C-alpha cells in the first residue's frame, strides 16, 4: 500500500516506521527543515537547547521497551537533575520517584534516529487533499502535488489536521476540533547570576511554568544554558506577538522566578502555537478506513511524548490489519 504520512514528529515517525516494517511503501512529508516537531532542539555553534518537550516518562510496557531500545541505541538517557517546585521564591524538592528520560545528546536525537531509513521529505507543507481515481492527491505549498496515494496519515497537531480532514471526513474533523491545544512561548537563555541551586523547576502561579538547565541533561556537557516555558495563560495572551516583543518579558519573568540579580541573556525565542493538548481524545488514533484517511498524534492519545509514540504504533497496527485494510 502506498502511504503518505504528513508530519515528521514523533507520532508520524512512529507510524511510518511501523508501516514500512510491515511492508508498506511509505513517504513522510514535513513542513519544517527537518524531523522532530515538538521534540526539536535549537542549535548554534556555541549552544543548544531543547525548545519543546523537556523530558518524558514511560508507563505503558510497550513504551518502556521502546525507551530501552532508544537507550541501547544511545539516543536516550535517564535525566537525574535536581527538580524542584518554585513558588514565591520558595523551593521544594520534587521527590515523586518518577524516572525521567531525555533524548541524548539532545531531544531531537530520537526523532533523527527514527527518521533514518525512512523517505522523509523536509520543507514540504501539505496544503490540501483531493480525491482522484479512488486514491488521494496531496497538494504541496510550492504548487506541486503528489498523487497515487492510497492511505493518508495526518500526524500533525489537531488544529492543523482539522481543516485537511473537514472536506473528506467530517466526523474525524469534528473529533479533531474537540482536542483543544494551547500555545507556549519558549526561550533559551544564559547568564544566570547567582546560579540556581537546582536544575529544573515547575514554576507555580507565575508567567513561567517551567525553567530547566538544558546543560544538566546527559550529553550536553554541563553547560549553563537554560530553557524557559511561559504558562498557558501568559502565552495565550501574547500568542500573536512577535518573538522580539516577548523576549524582554520572558527574561524579566525568568529573573523574577529564579531570583536573579539581572535578567538573563536571551539567545532564542520560539512560539509554539500548538504546544500541548489540554483536552486530548481517548481514541488512540482516528481512522476512516473506507476513504483511506487517518490521524494520529499526542492529541489522540494523551498529551505527551509517550502518547504520541503509541498513537503512531496503534494506527500502524490498525492499518496493517488485513481485516481493516485490503
Ligand X SMILES: Cc1cc2nc3c(=O)[nH]c(=O)nc-3n(C[C@H](O)[C@H](O)[C@H](O)COP(=O)(O)OP(=O)(O)OC[C@H]3O[C@@H](n4cnc5c(N)ncnc54)[C@H](O)[C@@H]3O)c2cc1C
- What are the residues binding ligand X (CB under 6 A)? 6-12, 29-32, 37-39, 52-56, 125-126, 155-157, 160, 184, 186, 229, 272, 275-276, 297-298, 304-305, 308
User: The sheet that has 119-121: what strands, in order across it?
Assistant: 119-121, 25-29, 2-6, 151-154, 293-295, 286-288
Q: How far is the CB of 210 from ligand X (least distance, A)?
A: 7
Nearer to ligand X, 262 or 293 (CB): 293
Give the residue carrying C-alpha cell 524538592.
Answer: 93
Q: Residue 117 to residues 3, 57, 114, 290: CA-CA distances in angstroms? A: 15, 26, 8, 29
Going by DSSP bridges, is the β-strand pair 151-154/2-6 parallel, antiparallel, or unpaired?
Answer: parallel
Q: How far is the CB of 323 from ligand X (least distance, A)?
A: 26
Give least dist CB 193 to ligand X, A. Answer: 25
Q: How far apart are CA 183 and CA 191, in angstroms?
A: 26
Taking the C-alpha atoms of residue 186 and residue 227, their distance in angstroms, rounded to an integer, is 7
Select 43 or 262, whichever has its Cβ closest to ligand X: 43
In the complex, what is the shortest distance from the CB of residue 326 to ligand X, in angstroms, rounded to a whole number? 28
Q: How far is the CB of 180 from ligand X (least distance, A)?
A: 14
Cβ 16 vs Cβ 164: under 8 Å: no
Of 141 and 321, CB closest to ligand X: 141
By beta-carbon proximity to ligand X, the closer residue of 8 and 319 is 8
Using the minimum distance from each CB to ligand X, give the nearer residue, 271 or 322.
Answer: 271
Across the beta sheet with 126-132, the strand order is 126-132, 135-140, 145-149
Amino acid at each position: 500500500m502506498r502511504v503518505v504520512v504528513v508530519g515528521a514528529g514523533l507520532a508520524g515517525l512512529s507510524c511510518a516506521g511501523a508501516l514500512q516494517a510491515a511492508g508498506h511503501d511509505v513517504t513522510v512529508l514535513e513542513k519544517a527543515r527537518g524531523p522532530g516537531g515538538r521534540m526539536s532542539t535549537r542549535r548554534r555553534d556555541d549552544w543548544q537547547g531543547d525548545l519543546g518537550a523537556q523530558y518524558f516518562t514511560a508507563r505503558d510496557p510497550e513504551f518502556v521497551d521502546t525507551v530501552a531500545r532508544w537507550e541501547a541505541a544511545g539516543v536516550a538517557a535517564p535525566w537525574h537533575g535536581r527538580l524542584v517546585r518554585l513558588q514565591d521564591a520558595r523551593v521544594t524538592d520534587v521527590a515523586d520517584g518518577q524516572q525521567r528520560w531525555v533524548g541524548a545528546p539532545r531531544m531531537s536525537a530520537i526523532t533523527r534516529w527514527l527518521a533514518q531509513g525512512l523517505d522523509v521529505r523536509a520543507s514540504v507543507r501539505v496544503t490540501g487533499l483531493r480525491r482522484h481515481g479512488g486514491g488521494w492527491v496531496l497538494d504541496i505549498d510550492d504548487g506541486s502535488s503528489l498523487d497515487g496515494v492510497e492511505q493518508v496519515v495526518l500526524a500533525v497537531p489537531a488544529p492543523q489536521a482539522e481543516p485537511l480532514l473537514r472536506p473528506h471526513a467530517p466526523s474525524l474533523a469534528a473529533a479533531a476540533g474537540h482536542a483543544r491545544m494551547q500555545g507556549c512561548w519558549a526561550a533559551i537563555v544564559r547568564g544566570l547570576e547567582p546560579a540556581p541551586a537546582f536544575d529544573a523547576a515547575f514554576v507555580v502561579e507565575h508567567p513561567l511554568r517551567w525553567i530547566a538547565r538544558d546543560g544538566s541533561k546527559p550529553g550536553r556537557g554541563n553547560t549553563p544554558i537554560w530553557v524557559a516555558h511561559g504558562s498557558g495563560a501568559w502565552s495565550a495572551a501574547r500568542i500573536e506577538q512577535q518573538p522580539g516583543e516577548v523576549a524582554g518579558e520572558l527574561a524579566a519573568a525568568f529573573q523574577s522566578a529564579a531570583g536573579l540579580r539581572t535578567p538573563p541573556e536571551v539567545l532564542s525565542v520560539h512560539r509554539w502555537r500548538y504546544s500541548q493538548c489540554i483536552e486530548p481524545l481517548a481514541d488512540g488514533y482516528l481512522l476512516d478506513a473506507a476513504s483511506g484517511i487517518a490521524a494520529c498524534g499526542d492529541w489522540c492519545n494523551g498529551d505527551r511524548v509517550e502518547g504520541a509514540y503509541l498513537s503512531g504504533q496503534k494506527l500502524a497496527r490498525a492499518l496493517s490489519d488485513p481485516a481493516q485494510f485490503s
